[in-house]
Structure formats: structure tokens, C-alpha cells
Amino acid sequence: MTDLFKELREKSVRHVLASSFIFLVAGVALICVSGIQNFPKMLHPADLETAVLQENMEGTYAEGDIDFLYGEYMDTANYKNGVKKDVSSVSMVICPGLNGYIGMEIPKNQIATYEGALETCYDNWDDDSYVLDPDFHVSGTIVRMSSEEQQIYQDFLLDAGADAYDTETFAPYVLKVGYLGNDLPLTMFLIFGLGVLLVMIFAVQLVRAFRGYYQKDLDAFIAQSSDPEEEYRKLNELYHTAAPINGIYANDEYVLFQDGRHSRIRRPWDIVWIYKEVTRHRVYGLIPAGSSYGFNMFSNDGKIYSFAVGKNNIDEVLNALSEALPGAVMGYSAELLEQYHKDRSLFSQKWNELRK
């Protein structure tokens, strides 16, 4: 049973490549954005003390110890109706390296701890030997301050008594504690995981297509026959000799077609209703953008198979199907739809008469 199944598998593979390749592209893009760019930084962070001495530290993921806090120059708050609701982050001045001052943005869940430590630093401001005990081990991404934050930063330094020379040692960068790139590590892991999931979806579908998973219905149909080899021979002959009607191979014994990536096999009398469907497209729900044409094929067990057809071919296709499947009801009406949902057996009456 090699020839027929091999060709149908190839159809399934092509359909997966055409319809699911976007999963692969999107998955690889998400993996690259989240993992390839950021995870190596997380595994091998730069030393914070060394990093702040670099001329350009933009995007550096660094870790190190903070043993003194020099003041809080900014906070980011959420407001409701003009009233401060809560503080989402605060920014403090730190000096992790010799004459290398930068800002440090502290996330909401650590604000209380750092503000308590800042109070002890203020209490021991005149003690040149004082350091935080224990010191804070931090990690995060160093980013350039926005122009607005730089102004607030400089104003704070000038208010604190720093002169023009001193401010040159205060670099316009801020360490965003806990951030990996522009996001929190959890966000990066979620994006990375989504990327892996999308790639896996594509890979699973492709492997299934190569292994013939999407031909299992056809395989079961042949296996249940009293003479599987003869059943296969007739199906193989139908597939290779009959002229397909929009991809549907039909005779007085079988209806064989692709339903997306799946290969379907039905008896002619299983197909009880066929009608044309025209979909009119509009941009933003207002501007006409053309129409697409197709038809729906309904079975006596409630299955619906949809096919796309070119505008110029739709009537020819439906006429050919009407001849190939003479027992199927053709055309649409609201009454037929209601009848199909209420009692599908009524749709088989024409087939029953033809098969007597």
C-alpha cells in the first residue's frame, strides 16, 4: 500500500509546511529575542564594579554587592483620580565601583528593605568606614536613563551639594534590579517557553505528516474491509485514474479527499448536503475588500468539510459534484439548515431511493 499512502503523506507534509510554517518562524523569533540574547548574559553576568567604569554600559547584565546607598532621587507611582495609589519602584544613587556612581531602580517588593537600609546610611553619613551589614547582592540590567530621569538625577545631585566636577563621576545609567534586558526573567522565560511551544507544535505536526498520522482514517477504513488488498487496489485506481473535482475523487463506491492535512474517505451516500458559500470581506468592517468562494459538504453523521474554490470555477465544481453525488441535496436555505440539525436522516432519503 505504498503508492497511495506515500502521495497522501506528501500532501499532508505540504499542507503542514504551508499552514504551520508561521509557528516555526514565530517560535524561533521568540526564542531568539528572549533566550539567545539574554540567557547567556544571565549565565555569565558582568561584574558590577567593573561594569560601571566602562564608557558605555548600555544593556550590560551585571551583578555585585552594594555596601552603601547615597540617596533616593526618584520614585515611580501609580495614580488614581490624581491621588497617589502606590509606588511601583524607587531609584537610588549607588557607587559599586571607584568613582563610578549610577542609579539603581528597586522593584516594588524590595522597596521597604532598601528604604530601611537607606535610613541607616543617613544615620551613619559622617562615618567614612560605615558599610551596610549585610550588604546587598544585586543583579540586573544597566540601561541609559531617559532625559527626564537624567534631569531629576542631576537636580538631586546638585541639591545634595555636588558641584560640576562631582557630577561628572555620576554616569547617566541606572541598574534595573531583577531585570533581564527590558523584562523580568519570568517574562523572558514565558516568552522563551512560548517560542519553544510554537516550534514543538510545528515539529509534531510535521513528524505526524511524515509518519502518516493524518491518513489514519483511511488506513482504518481499509483495515476494516473484508479484503483490504482489494479495497486498497480500488482506492489506488480511483486516485490515479479519476479526474478530481476540486481535489475530491469520487465514484459509486468512494469519496476520497484532503481535509486540510487529513486524508478522508467516505462512501458516496455519506455525503447528504452540499451548498455554495460566498464570504464578503471588508476592511475595518466598512470598506469592501472582495469576496472568497467555496462550498460546504455535510455528511450524514454531522461532519462538515469546507473547500475553497475560485470565483470562475465554483458553479462548474458544484455541477460536477451534483453529477458525482446524485443523492446529495444541493443548495442552501434556512429551512434546510434547521432540518439538518433536527433530523439528518431526512437528508438520506434521496440516496435511499437511488440505492434501491
Domain positions in the chain are: 46-182, 214-354
Q: Are strands 83-97 and 69-80 parallel, antiparallel or unpaired?
A: antiparallel
| pLDDT tens digit sequence for 56-78 | 888 899 999 999 999 999 998 87
CA 247 – CA 262 distance, rounded (Å): 13
pLDDT score, position 318: 95
| Prediction pTM value | 0.68
69: closest CA among 26, 110, 27? Answer: 110
pLDDT score, position 54: 82
For the chain, percent of residues with pLDDT exceeding 70? 95
140: closest CA among 214, 205, 52? Answer: 52
45: closest CA among 124, 152, 151, 138? Answer: 138
* Options 1.10.3470, 2.40.160, 1.25.40, 2.30.29; CATH of 214-354: 2.30.29
pLDDT score, position 166: 63
166 or 9, which is more confident? 9
Q: Does position 2 have pLDDT exceeding 60, yes or no?
A: no
Helical ranges in the chain per DSSP H: 2-31, 37-43, 48-51, 111-123, 147-159, 164-167, 185-211, 216-223, 228-241, 314-324, 334-342, 349-354
